[in-house]
Structure 1
Amino acid sequence: MPPVKLLIIDDEEDYASALVERLNLRKFDAAAVYSSKDAPAAIESHRPDVILLDLFMPGMDAKDMIMTLKDAVPDVEIIIVSGHADPAQDVIKSAFDYIIKPIEIKDLIEKVNKALAKKKGAA
């Protein structure tokens, strides 16, 4: 079975890079981009199963970004990542789920697995 493909879109480069390393060690195929402008090309080349999207990034409205991502890859599941304990509810409704930073890797993997189960159920 091929590894699950994850794309992390987060402007905190050190954080996202460390998360990619941790996920790759756990047999995921993770990649990261550090700007919403770089997301479309990364989606095209990586074709992720699940996207981890930072809620607050410069030059990006999260709700619009979710719609753009869903247009590019309709069956992708999106998990919002936020350092804020109370993300906007209208954005949360547009995504599969959300998780608060700092992320516990086991909690993240659990949410990714739930997103994959939903994606497979929809296929």
Structure 2
Amino acid sequence: MATTACKKGHVKINGATVKPSRDVYATDKIEVRKDQITRHLTVLDIPPSRVGAKLVDIYRVDTTPKENFEHLELLKFSKDHYRKKGMGRPTKKDRREIDEYLDDNLDDDESNS
């Protein structure tokens, strides 16, 4: 995933687009674009070996502005209202809700008989 992101230009180190093989050093500033949000990370130190996900925050600082996360929340709300209910083909989620509704009604009808 990281290689693909680098090749597409979604990863920058110190303001320059990088190749996947680029080494990362302490004090590097990394910008990663993912899910329509640009995250800003600062490398504090390089671990001597692989570390677990819980220990990653020891070696980096997330300096992403809060406005970026607020923008992401607004995008979520706009996606909900993109297609009005009853317009066009039902989505996969809509079909599942319809099937669930019909299954519940069939179970109720059988128990009443």
Alignment TM-score, normalising by the size of structure 1: 0.25
Answer 1 or 2: which has greater helix percent.
1
Task: Say which one has the larger Rg.
Answer: 2
Alignment TM-score, normalising by the size of structure 2: 0.27
